[in-house]
Amino acid sequence: MSKIFVSYRQQGTLMRAGRIADTLISHFGAGNIFQDQATLHGGSDWQQAIDKALKDCSVLVAVIGPHWLEHKSANGGRRIDEPDDYVLLEIATALNRDIPVIPVLVGGTKRFHLEELPDPLKKLAYIEPLSIEDSAWHAGMHSLLESIRRFDINPKKIGWKTFTSLALSVIGMFAIGSDDVSLEAAIVGLVLGLLALVLSLRSYYEFRKGTQRGRSWAVGAIIYSGLIALVALDEMIPDKYF
């Protein structure tokens, strides 16, 4: 289920929208973010997919760049005024369904006036926008994350890689836990410990910008799996080498 819908116009905001989506993924998980280019696959019915994503979403983040309103269509008019404009459809649908919309102004974009907006989007003029400047990107993203959390979007807490790492470490501990450990058991313990270490390191990498709880569990898994691997390696080395 996509809980956060990232709406943007590809012309002028693609890179910044991608940065915003990447940060949201690191905090809330990829399964909770809908971003058309990253989420849709070849052969997808984009209108149907977007409609489904909007039904599932809890909040829409509208990334608005300097040419968001003024982008021209093939006939020379404003693209935003045409009924089949995907940006218009996304935001208007969210507004009509009472889905919270957070306008995010990027690239120095100024707040727009009521008369500049097409009729289906006039409600946007009454929603306080959030500005994210390139020179203060992290501060702006912090404000956006705080705004999203008000709508009860649950960030991922502990990843499956961390749980799997801990489970492998426990199995490895039992393999090398007896007083007389065979070479085969030590090898099993070493393999399990190394696998657990790799998973826990990957988990920490995913949570490096995420929740403190997720990072703490990942660090614990790294330490635990590393100790299991070291103990198993120690059991494999004959005493005569010490």
CA distance 218 to 94: 37
What is the dihedral sign for C-alpha 172, 173, 178, 183? positive
Region at 12 (left for phi over 0; alpha for psi -120 to 50; beta for the rest): left
Q: So what's the pLDDT on residue 41?
A: 52
What is the dihedral sign for C-alpha 66, 72, 76, 82? negative
Q: Which residues of the chain have pLDDT under 70?
A: 1-2, 36-46, 152-159, 205-215, 238-242
The vertex-50 CA angle with 46 and 53, nearest 5°, equals 140
CA distance 94 to 107: 24
CA distance 71 to 11: 8
Q: Where are the domains of the chain?
A: 4-149, 160-241
Fold classified for 4-149: Rossmann fold (3.40.50)
CA distance 157 to 26: 11
Q: So what's the pLDDT on residue 122?
A: 94
Which residue in the block uniquely carries the two structure tokens 């009454």? 126
Q: So what's the pLDDT on residue 105?
A: 96
Q: So what's the pLDDT on residue 207?
A: 61
Give the CA-trace dihedral at 43, 46, 52, 55, to 10 degrees: 160
- Residue (of 6, 15, 132, 139) closest to 61 by Cα position: 6
